[in-house]
Chains A and B, each alone.
Chain A
Amino acid sequence: MKGYIFIKKELCKECGLCVHFCPKDHIIPSKEYNAQGYHPVCVDETKECNGCAICATMCPEIAVEVYRE
């Protein structure tokens, strides 16, 4: 199963739950800033997303949209 995610960077509060729980290490911290003053997470293109939606399940801010092929 393949998938991809879209991270709404302005909503991310850098809690790190998605980074920790992603079984594919597909999400990593970044160094950029959003308007709230946090470093929003971003995707690691070298790892594959399988559309499991665990990131979105854990994300408190509903900042992740998940798509599945």
Chain B
Amino acid sequence: MAKIVFKHPESLKENIFHYCPGCGHSIVHRLVAEVIDEMGIRGITIGVPPAGCAVLAYNYFDVDMIEALHGRGPAMATAIKRCLPDRLVFSYQGDGDLAAIGIAESFHAANRGENISVIFINNAVYGMTGGQMAPTTMLNQRSTTTPAGRKQAVDGYPVKVSEIFSRLDGATYVERCAVSSPTGVNKTKKAIRKAFQCQMAGLGFSLVEVLSLCPTNWKLSSVDSCKYIDEVMSKVFPPGVYKDQTGQSGKTAEARP
């Protein structure tokens, strides 16, 4: 008698994703929902979507969610977690949301060691608005606002979020993964679970950066996009664990002294 080993997660609504074919958001949404299912925390999870392709994430996640203004997710998540410390609060963000307009909110939530989890989708481009340069756009990468490729002299360098945030004393767990292969997808799911467990144990700020495919704006097929992540993006943004202090106790921002 065959048993099902893979089915639609319960914490995800049945709606068809509006994301493009091959989009990494779709994969990561599923992983987050699977982790929520496996940890049995659907009822106490509150998510904060970004402004970006995933702005309509509440159409997919079957958990309580509140829309945040562009970049301000970590500020909202901070407040929600401080008021409801026993809930699982996560902020789900893209390149512009976390590293451009929202860099202060992300940085300071990490710096204060807020006990929230941030899922950062790095696809090196601004997806929803049509493919403009992101802070994470790589040198010589073409985008609609760098038609000749990103030039360091005028456009600066790609921002390495995991590296930077891992240097903050307030951050407890920072890992970068990629959803460009089955191994990568499985590692990403483990990282998300570790981040959520870090939060549920009250250990402090966790960030999972996911190198994610954007076939539409990269103008590549989905399969070639996976290769692009493995062969190009992973050289600039090496996957790996950048910080892991989950073994240490007593690291959490508290509402009361």
A contacts B directly in the complex (CB < 8 Å)? yes
List residues of chain A with CB under 8 Å of any chain B CB.
Answer: 3-4, 10-11, 13-17, 20-21, 36, 38, 51, 53-54, 56-58, 60-62, 64-69
> In the complex the two chains form, is B181's CB within 8 Å of A15's CB?
no
Partner of A16, one of B4, B6, B16, B223: B223
Tell me the chain B residues, 1-55 only, with Cβ under 8 Å from chain A: 1-9, 12, 16-17, 19-27, 30
10 A-B pairs besides A38-B21, A57-B185 with CB distance below 8 A are A3-B2, A10-B16, A15-B215, A16-B222, A53-B5, A58-B185, A60-B17, A60-B24, A60-B26, A61-B17
Given A3-B2, A66-B6, residue A61 in contact with residue B16 (CB < 8 A): yes
Complex contact B222–A67 (CB within 8 A) = no
Give B contacts to A, CB under 8 Å: 1-9, 12, 16-17, 19-27, 30, 181-182, 185-186, 215, 221-223, 226
- Once the chains are docked, how many angstroms separate the CA of A38 from the CA of B56? 23
- Docked CA distance A50–B250 (Å): 46
Which of A15, A21, A64 meets B6, CB within 8 Å? A64
Identify which of A20, A38, A56, A57 gathers the most chain B CB atoms within 10 Å of its CB.
A57
Q: For B25, what are the chain A residues with a Cβ–Cβ distance below 8 Å? A: 60
| A67 CB contacts on chain B under 8 angstroms | 2-5
Given that A58-B182, A60-B22, A61-B16 are contacting pairs, would A69 and B2 also be in contact in the complex, using a CB cutoff of 8 Å? yes
Closest to A65 in B: B7
Rounded to whole angstroms, the CA-CA distance of A38 and B20 in the bound complex is 12
The answer to whether A68 touches B22 (Cβ under 8 A) is no
Shortest CB distance A55–B (Å): 9
User: Are B4's CB and A60's CB within 8 A?
Assistant: no
Query: Complex formed: what's the CA distance from A54 to B222 in Å?
Result: 16
Q: Give the chain B neighbours of A61 by CB distance below 8 A.
A: 16-17, 26
A11 touches which of B16, B22, B185 (Cβ 8 Å): B16
Taking a contact as CB atoms under 8 Å apart, the answer to whether A15 and B22 are in contact is yes
**Bound-state Cα–Cα, A69 to B4, Å:** 9
Across the interface, name the chain A residue whose C-beta is closest to B2. Answer: A67
Q: A15-B222, A20-B223 are in contact. Are A65 and B4 (CB under 8 A)?
A: yes
Indicate if the CB atoms of B21 and A60 lie closer than 8 Å: yes
Q: Could you say which residues of chain A place their CB within 8 Å of the CB of B221?
A: 16
